[in-house]
Structure 1
Amino acid sequence: MQEDFLHFIWQFQYFNRQQLLTTASESLHILNPGLANDHAGPDFSQARIRIGNIEWAGQVEIHIKSSDWEAHQHQHDLAYENVILHVVWHNDKPICRKDGSLIPTLELKERVNVQLLGRYNYLLANKNVIPCASLFALVPDIHKVHALDKALMQRLQYKAATVQELLAVNGQDWEETTYQWLARSMGFKLNAEPFLQLAKAIPLKLLQKHRDNLLQMEALLFGQAGFLEEQSNDAYVQSLQKEYKFLSHKYQLAGTKLSVGQWKFAKLRPVNFPTLRIAHLAALLQVHQNLFSLFIHTDTLHAFADILAAPPSSYWQHHYTFEKETKITSHLGKESISNLVINTVVPILACYAQQKDKYAYIDTAIAWLESLPAEDNYITRLWKELQLPVKNAFDAQASIELYNIFCVPVKCLSCPVGVHLIKKSQ
């Protein structure tokens, strides 16, 4: 038995409510089960019940065993003094308040449909990476769509909250935050964190002081990234080192320098090497001064590609890394541009919508996702094998979130698909 299951049973009242009695044999009527509480304190608030002829309003606490009340030390917590009903699977001990009065208790173990419990236990014990995989075909499309919509909105809220944290650190400076978030996204998965660290170490305002000199912008970024530490016979590298030595001393940058070991090159295509992406970022920031405004008002992939089309300096037209010259493709491909929209523009739009109560920007974010192609990865392929259509980036992002927040932790009770399957057994 899991406490989450009891929460589910109580919240949706999936138990036999005929002739309810407390463990003290008092008649019990549930007028309102209350609102689920995701924070500290009792599990449900604003509940209303009637015991005998007296109506009570207050909180409800859920446990597997009544003795868990003491195991969790609730008897010492004033937040639990207003609990009007203790809902348990098994009543193994009477529980009292500090004043000695008995807390009314409802035992559920004889009131829950065994098939309901059996289906839940089946999902819980299933070893498939998607617990409901063998039953997924039985689920009507409406519940699958509901699950995707719910997962996508949670993903947007999470990403918006992450941008919001960065925005707060940056004193509500949207341009600085957009620059940092873009840098993070340009690191893609492997180099996201060092790129973000680099952007924090070299603020946008500092780079903008040197917009008339791309070499100095590159020197600040490459030097702070830790790529200019070794002696070199390459004239371009020597120029960067000379500029960085002067600028680092001028702006006292030594304390926030990254080490070259923080950057990942293995398993990356050369076009995504961090050296080339840093050069690309410098060029982009030289050409465009107001990225935030551009990002929230750009609504086509072609227009966004034009923003990102700023070519890196001539050295990086022939190099993926320092010194080793080669014929290269330095521009971002369509897939990379789509990923930058998904991971940069969409979260910023979602955050801005929440911050300013302008929810038209959420519609814009969703429109972006619906217009972009779906990612092809391990998770999206799992869903396709179950015949879940993954037609665009909306479906892909939603299915990834569905897998990560519901399937991996086996939170079937929070998933519309899982809830449908469990209820179906009633």
Structure 2
Amino acid sequence: MSPKSWIFCEKSIGKIDDFTFNNWQERLFFDRLERKSKFIYDLLEETNQDWEGVLFSLLAKNFGLNTNGNSFLQIAKSIPFSIIRKESFEVENLEALLLGASGLLDDDKEDIYFTDLKLRYYYLLTKYQLEKRHIDAVQFFKHRPDNFPTIRLSQLANLYHKHQNLFSKIIELRSVKSVYDLLSVSASLYWQNHYQFDKEGITKPKSLSKSFLDLIIINTIIPIQFAYSNIRGESIAEELITFMNEVTPEKNAIIDKFQSFGIASKNAFETQTLLELKNEYCNHKACLKCALGIELLKNNQN
């Protein structure tokens, strides 16, 4: 074992038999879901067991991706979901609530749409006696324009405008196509030729891309389905694996590195298990707790 090895078994991991590898992948997948579920159970406590509210917070967090995820989660938590439900029939009101909470309506601008949203926001604050909370500033820097917080918050508003009972629909989804069909939304009309207020650009539809929705499947839909089935004492393990087998494999440095060792991923089920393997076992040098490490040590002794 070289001290500079990325993982200790990098020269031999590709030789492990499929039966051992596949069984371990299933264990890794559900261990990962168990860890993700802890966050969902915490949200469930905070929302008095309101699954619609939990979904809203989880979707908000994942719409913000890594950079704005925590800020978007704070935004969602600052607005009682009962208000989102009541205002869902007017998309401008939802957008005003989300953009207002984010701090993006704090300035003064000449822009007519900005002014309208700002007036709506302060009217809604008064109507529902909401306090404006401090939210960590949302980031534009280093984001592709399609991931700007303005666009993602507008898309989230439009999603809740389109679906008033989203949780009951999402909990039944079992295929990638059904997700693409259900979550087919765009940012509001204003954002078709804007990425920021006061800065008009080329007209371009700002719909949720398939690659973005794949991330929503991985980080929101599958975990909440798993947590919900656990609470109800039901097992949907096989359905979740089948679902994840349809999702395009993730692309990142960890997955690329495993591929260089002969471990190629055909779908997101496999990429998720490799991320769990690297982060929870390899990074901690926990070879003796890893089925692959144990198998390789056994083979070396024979």
TM-score tier (shorter): over 0.9
Q: Given the alignment of the two structures, is residue 291 of structure 1 paired with residue 169 of structure 2, yes or no? A: no
- Of 333, 356, 361, the residue aligned with 2:209 is 333
Q: Is the 8 A contact 2:155 2:208 kept in 1?
A: no
Q: Given the alignment of the two structures, is residue 391 of structure 1 paired with residue 258 of structure 2, yes or no? A: no
What's the counterpart of residue 61 of structure 1? Answer: none
Task: Please tell me the residue identity of whatever aligns with 1:186.
Answer: F
Between stretches 241-250 and 191-200, larger displacement belongs to: 241-250
- Of 225, 247, 258, the residue aligned with 1:372 is 247
Tell which has more relative contact order, 1 or 2 (C-alpha 8 A, sep 6+).
2
What's the counterpart of residue 346 of structure 1? Answer: 222
Task: Please tell me the residue identity of whatever aligns with 2:104.
Answer: F
For the structure 1 residues 395 and 417, does the alpha-carbon distance in structure 2 shift closer, same or farther, using more than 3 Å as the test? same
What's the counterpart of residue 43 of structure 2? Answer: 166
Q: Given the alignment of the two structures, is residue 357 of structure 1 paired with residue 233 of structure 2, yes or no? A: yes
Q: Is the 8 A contact 1:201 1:257 kept in 2?
A: no
Q: Given the alignment of the two structures, is residue 242 of structure 1 paired with residue 136 of structure 2, yes or no? A: no
Quote the Cα distance in structure 2 between the aligned partners of 1:410 and 1:279.
Answer: 43
Quote the Cα distance in structure 2 between the aligned partners of 1:306 and 1:321.
Answer: 28
What's the counterpart of residue 211 of structure 1? Answer: 88
Tell me the secondary structure at the aligned position of residue 199 of structure 2: coil
Q: CA offset at residue 407 of structure 1?
A: 0.8
Quote the Cα distance in structure 1 between the aligned partners of 2:167 and 2:238.
Answer: 18
Between stretches 324-333 and 369-378, larger displacement belongs to: 324-333
Quote the Cα distance in structure 2 between the aligned partners of 1:149 and 1:303.
Answer: 24
Q: CA offset at residue 255 of structure 1?
A: 4.3
Unmatched 5+ stretches in structure 1: 1-121
What's the counterpart of residue 24 of structure 2? Answer: 147
Q: CA offset at residue 267 of structure 1?
A: 2.3
Residue-by-residue CA offset, 1:308-339 (whole Å, 9 max, x unaligned): 22333210121122221122340111111111
For the structure 1 residues 207 and 395, does the alpha-carbon distance in structure 2 shift closer, same or farther, using more than 3 Å as the test? same
Task: Please tell me the residue identity of whatever aligns with 1:324.
Answer: K
Quote the Cα distance in structure 1 between the aligned partners of 2:275 and 2:158.
Answer: 33
Quote the Cα distance in structure 2 between the aligned partners of 1:131 and 1:329.
Answer: 47
- Of 101, 109, 117, the residue aligned with 1:224 is 101
Q: Is the 8 A contact 1:211 1:286 kept in 2?
A: yes
Quote the Cα distance in structure 2 between the aligned partners of 1:340 and 1:138.
Answer: 33
Aligned CA-pair RMSD: 1.7
Detail structure 1 runs of 4+ shifted over 4 Å in the superposition: none
- Alignment map for 1:47-196 (pairs within 5 Å): 122=1, 126-196=3-73
Quote the Cα distance in structure 2 between the aligned partners of 1:208 and 1:166.
Answer: 18
Quote the Cα distance in structure 1 between the aligned partners of 2:243 and 2:142.
Answer: 29
What's the counterpart of residue 278 of structure 1? Answer: 153
Quote the Cα distance in structure 1 between the aligned partners of 2:230 and 2:87.
Answer: 34
What's the counterpart of residue 268 of structure 1? Answer: 143
- Of 286, 292, 295, the residue aligned with 1:420 is 295
Quote the Cα distance in structure 1 between the aligned partners of 2:30 and 2:139.
Answer: 32
Quote the Cα distance in structure 1 between the aligned partners of 2:261 and 2:135.
Answer: 44
Structure with the greater alpha carbon radius of gyration: 1
Q: CA offset at residue 253 of structure 1?
A: 3.0
Unmatched 5+ stretches in structure 2: none
The TM-score with structure 2 as length reference comes to 0.94
Residue-by-residue CA offset, 1:102-157 (whole Å, 9 max, x unaligned): xxxxxxxxxxxxxxxxxxxx4xx733121211232443333322332221111111
Residue-by-residue CA offset, 1:266-297 (whole Å, 9 max, x unaligned): 22211111110100111111110111111111
Q: CA offset at residue 246 of structure 1?
A: 1.9
For the structure 1 residues 257 and 220, does the alpha-carbon distance in structure 2 shift closer, same or farther, using more than 3 Å as the test? farther
Question: What is the identity percentage for the equivalent residue pairs of Structure 1 and Structure 2?
Answer: 33
Quote the Cα distance in structure 2 between the aligned partners of 1:235 and 1:137.
Answer: 60
Tell me the secondary structure at the aligned position of residue 87 of structure 2: coil
The TM-score with structure 1 as length reference comes to 0.67
Task: Please tell me the residue identity of whatever aligns with 1:346.
Answer: I
- Of 197, 204, 208, the residue aligned with 1:322 is 197
Q: Is the 8 A contact 2:186 2:208 kept in 1?
A: no
Quote the Cα distance in structure 2 between the aligned partners of 1:379 and 1:285.
Answer: 34
Q: Is the 8 A contact 1:375 1:393 kept in 2?
A: yes
Q: Is the 8 A contact 2:193 2:201 kept in 1?
A: yes
Tell me the secondary structure at the aligned position of residue 163 of structure 1: helix
Q: Given the alignment of the two structures, is residue 256 of structure 1 paired with residue 133 of structure 2, yes or no? A: yes
For the structure 1 residues 145 and 225, does the alpha-carbon distance in structure 2 shift closer, same or farther, using more than 3 Å as the test? same
Task: Please tell me the residue identity of whatever aligns with 2:284.
Answer: P
Tell me the secondary structure at the aligned position of residue 320 of structure 1: strand
Quote the Cα distance in structure 1 between the aligned partners of 2:87 and 2:132.
Answer: 21
Tell me the secondary structure at the aligned position of residue 284 of structure 2: coil
Quote the Cα distance in structure 1 between the aligned partners of 2:17 and 2:178.
Answer: 39
